[in-house]
Amino acid sequence: MNLAKFPRRGYVQAPTPLEALPRFSEALGGKVNVFIKRDDMLPGTAGGNKTRKLDFCMADALRQGADSIITCGAVQSNHCRLTLAWAVKEGLDCHLILEERVKGSYKPEASGNNFLFQLLGVKSISVVPGGSDMMGEMQKLAETLRAEGKKPYVIPGGASNKIGALGYVSCAEEVLRQLFETGLRIDHMVVPSGSAGTHAGIIAGMIGNNAGIPVTGIGVNRKKEAQQAAVLKLAQETLNYIGTGVTMPAEAVVAFDDYVGPGYSLPTDGMVEAVKLLASTESILLDPVYSGKAMAGLIDLVRKDYFPEGSNVLFLHTGGSPALFAYLDTFRS
Ligand SMILES: *Cc1c(COP(=O)(O)O)cnc(C)c1O
């Protein structure tokens, strides 16, 4: 697909590694061969998937003459950390609106991403209660900034719109190129599914390229039906935006909600096991909110023989490890 027509900033200068996980696969009984796409190693402060999306979103902001970026996320948001990081690099102000999805969870002195917000020099942080109309809050702030003579640009939560999702269409194509170059066969891909842009972009890229690699999303927040509807809608919008004329088949979108546990960002036993297992077999850090729960899903699906024996399964590591340091108690107990 021709993505060259969309402006981007060039944040992703080289393909991220695609590695085998032999010791991790062995620890799961050797039934399948797990591989990992290291988007935790993308550029941008501490890496992670939002860099691919922001590559396109920031280019759009600059094209529109923005001098300030407004975005939103949860109190330990990786997306907010990376939006702020790239805004700093571009010389733009960055304003964050944080949604306190778990009551009382915002602590200005907290570690993890929250610490980095201050270190990187956020222009302002406002905290709103869980369930707030985040787009409405961002528009309100944009109005205020405009009245001060600023030129704000609003990036939605997770940069999950058709512009940001282009970053993951591009990632799907990067994976396909790597498989071609190495002659590796991948039978199945597993991806975290949050604000939906990553999952939607990957699936749009796989379907749009007729790759024949099924993708299973692991939800971290919404119910299965709601998540699948959100991914399907955004994947179709993205394919239309690219101008492919491809219709997204609804059955290609799978997003399990079995690994969310008590709720978004709340620890589960499966997440703790996944984080510990990958760290202790392959020295790779997952995060407690997204990649840890997504890997818990992969582990459970392997145990349930969801993938035929001998399958090569590719896990997309979307980053997030700074959040680990805000969850020390979870891993100590
Ligand atoms: C945002 C995020 C995700 C989820 O990606 P979406 O595009 O929001 O679905 C997964 N992992 C990490 C570490 C993230 O920060």
Q: What is the pLDDT of residue 19?
A: 98
Q: How far is the CA of 49 from the centre of ligand 1 (A)?
A: 6
Task: Point out which residues pair with 256 in neighbouring strands.
Answer: 218
- Contact (Cβ atoms closer than 8 angstroms) between residue 256 and residue 217: yes
For 39-56, what is each residue's pLDDT tens digit?
999 999 999 999 999 999
Q: How far is the CA of 290 from the centre of ligand 1 (A)?
A: 6
Q: If pLDDT is split at 50, 70 and 90, which confidence band does 103 have? A: confident
Q: If pLDDT is split at 50, 70 and 90, which confidence band does 102 have? A: confident
Q: If pLDDT is split at 50, 70 and 90, which confidence band does 137 have? A: very high
Q: What is the pLDDT of residue 32?
A: 98
Phi first, then psi, for residue 190 (nearest 5°) are -120, 130
**Considering 77, 105, 193, 291, which one is annotated as catalytic?**
77
What is d(CA 295, CA 240) in angstroms, rounded to the nearest whole number? 31
Ligand 1 pocket member 194 (CB < 6 A): yes
Q: Residue 228 has what DSSP assignment?
A: H
Q: If pLDDT is split at 50, 70 and 90, which confidence band does 284 have? A: very high
Nearest to 202 by CA among 56, 49, 306: 49
CB atoms within 10 A of CB 144: 12
- Residue having the nearest C-alpha atom to atom 9 of ligand 1: 194
For 72-94, what is each residue's pLDDT tens digit?
999 999 999 999 999 999 999 99
pTM of the predicted model over 0.75: yes
**Closest approach atom of ligand 1 to CA 40:** 13
Phi first, then psi, for residue 88 (nearest 5°) are -60, -45
* pLDDT exceeds cutoff 80 at 303: yes
Quote the mean pLDDT of the chain: 97
Q: If pLDDT is split at 50, 70 and 90, which confidence band does 121 have? A: very high
Q: Percent of the chain scored above 70 by pLDDT? A: 100
Best residue among 39, 49, 52 to mutate for probing ligand 1's pocket (most ligand atoms within 8 Å of CB) is 49
Ligand 1 pocket member 39 (CB < 6 A): no
Nearest to 113 by CA among 323, 286, 267: 323
- Contact (Cβ atoms closer than 8 angstroms) between residue 272 and residue 264: no
* pLDDT exceeds cutoff 90 at 237: yes
**Mean pLDDT computed over 304-323:** 98
**Closest approach atom of ligand 1 to CA 164:** 7
Phi first, then psi, for residue 207 (nearest 5°) are -70, -45
- Contact (Cβ atoms closer than 8 angstroms) between residue 67 and residue 19: no
* pLDDT exceeds cutoff 80 at 333: no
77 catalytically annotated:
yes
Q: What is the pLDDT of residue 202?
A: 99
Q: If pLDDT is split at 50, 70 and 90, which confidence band does 295 have? A: very high
